[in-house]
Amino acid sequence: MVKPTYTRREFLGTTAVAGAGLLLASCSPDSGQKPATSKGVLSNLNVALIGCGAEGQVLLESLLVIEGIKLVAIVDVWKYNRESNIRRIKAQGVEVNGYENYEDLLAHEKDLQAVVVATPDFWHAPITNACLKAGLHVYCEKMMSNTIEGARSMVQTMRETGKLLQIGHQRRSNPRYIFALNRLIHDAKICGRLTAAQAQWNRAVTEDFGWPKHSDMSAAELAKYGFKDMHQFRNWRWFKGLGGGPLSDLGAHQIDIFNWWLGSPAKTVMASGGVDYYQNHEWYDNAMVVYEYQLPHDSPIPTGIVRAFYQVQTTTSAGGGYFEMFMGDEGTIKMSENPSITKLYREDRAPAWDDLVAKNYLRTSATQPANDADKVDVRETAPLLQYDIPVTFAKKIHQPHLENFFNAIRGTAKLNCPADEAFASEYVIHKANEAIAARKILEISEEETKA
């Protein structure tokens, strides 16, 4: 359904009486959505976590605090990790079973409704497909797969089985992101016509992961699960055939925001990157990507071309941080999961934002550029006024996206990132790695981005 569009004045008129409280409430991750199924309400869901590495442990913490979720089992091929996580979970008063692999899980746990998959990328497709076919709903971390074919197979299995498949782009359920897109960009049109986007993730140099003495997997175990040795197992993100490197680990989240907020996948991609720093890695340690987007004809904001630059660095100071910035002819939104980095800037040519501030859709930043009427310094362009988004949420960052998944299973919400929608992002991210290797501009047709 095409969302109704408003002029700026109409938007304020429609919300003037309701005020900010209703406005914010309407931006909860599941608001305004119709049930995906008519199964009725399942108050308690039995869930298993497959893969308990760094990302799995982040998800685990949310799983343990969400009402109505019973974590019944965890799976990890590394005995050391599996047992230490079971100990941690039991210390919180939760009894869980542990399994080495998903086959054992499916063979023994007969009362599961859903699994959360957070294994290395190259295991996502086989595990997700098997679990969907076993009748389970699946939440799978991004990337969907280390190959386009793998990701496509997941969408196909989702359709064949009729089960839900949510992809872990958690910003899609973040109330601050939903508020910024729906209310500020679309309804209030604070950026005017979008012309550019920029996102980046900068990380400082880190050593490769090691492992404690006496915790090694045997050569046979490693080979069984597709790894050459323990170093490759612990650092799989850097190896081709296993993961997709920083563009897929970090970039996937942010490039997905490009697609989501601009309303369509990129039409072209050009990129540069390389293995310039870490000599024992296969994937690029740095990448700079330029996408070209065409806003769709039914976009709620004026349509046109948007060029989007993406940068991921793993060899720099982390001082640059991580954010996604959307720039238009009337204003800019700099978004981040970290609220302290989020800022909005108004161009002088834009209509005043005072009414938005008065209604608590925006908040004037505490720190503002000096505006002394009795003096003027002729040096450089004056800085823009800064604003903040007043929306916060008192939950773990991944929690709303998991809750959206579970509510969709219960039939009280619609998935915020179903696999078929995520596939378009998946496709253009794979294309960025391909563009680096090809060293040329790649065209992307809309048909290609559909699974």
Partner 1 sequence: MSEIHVFNRRAMATQFQVRIANEEKAYAQQAAQAAFALLDDLESKLSRFRANSEIAQIGELKVGEKLRLTEPVFACLNLARKMEFATRGAFSVTAAALRTQPTKPLWSLVDKEFTIRCDNGRLEFDLGAIGKGFALDRMATVLHEWSCSAYLLVAGGSSILAGEAPADSAGWSCGLGDDHSPRRHWLSQASLSGSGLAVKGKHIFDPRTGQPCSKHHRTWALADSAAESDALSTACMILEEPEIQEILRRNPAWLVFLNEEKTWQHLGSRTAPPLATSE
Residues that bind partner 1 (CB under 8 A): 54, 61, 64-65, 84, 88, 91-93, 206-214, 338-340, 392-397
Nearer to partner 1 by Cβ, of 337 and 355: the residue is 337
CB atoms within 10 A of CB 311: 18
Residues sharing a CB contact under 8 Å with residue 120, sequence separation 6 or more, in sequence order: 51, 53, 236, 237, 242, 243
Q: Which two structure tokens, joined as six digits, stand for 113?
A: 């409704």
Nearer to partner 1 by Cβ, of 272 and 317: the residue is 317
CB atoms within 10 A of CB 328: 23
Nearer to partner 1 by Cβ, of 54 and 441: the residue is 54
CB atoms within 10 A of CB 130: 17
Closest separation in Å from C-beta 168 to partner 1: 17
Q: How distant, in Å, are the alpha carbons of 48, 169, 315 from that of 54?
A: 16, 16, 20
Nearer to partner 1 by Cβ, of 222 and 391: the residue is 391
Closest separation in Å from C-beta 61 to partner 1: 5
Nearer to partner 1 by Cβ, of 79 and 267: the residue is 79
Closest separation in Å from C-beta 79 to partner 1: 14
Contact at 8 Å (CB) between 255 and 432? Answer: yes
Nearer to partner 1 by Cβ, of 92 and 272: the residue is 92
Closest separation in Å from C-beta 206 to partner 1: 7
Closest separation in Å from C-beta 66 to partner 1: 9
Going by C-alpha positions, the residue among 91, 226, 112 that lies closest to residue 99 is 112
Closest separation in Å from C-beta 160 to partner 1: 37
Closest separation in Å from C-beta 339 to partner 1: 5
Residues sharing a CB contact under 8 Å with residue 151, sequence separation 6 or more, in sequence order: 125, 143, 144, 145, 419, 423, 426, 427, 451
The sign of the dihedral angle between the CA atoms of 149, 153, 156, 162 is negative
Going by C-alpha positions, the residue among 42, 295, 20, 71 that lies closest to residue 183 is 20
Nearer to partner 1 by Cβ, of 223 and 341: the residue is 341
Give me the sheet containing 137-140, strands edge to edge: 97-99, 69-75, 45-50, 114-117, 137-140, 165-167
> Cα-flanking dihedrals φ and ψ of residue 121, to 5°?
-55, -40
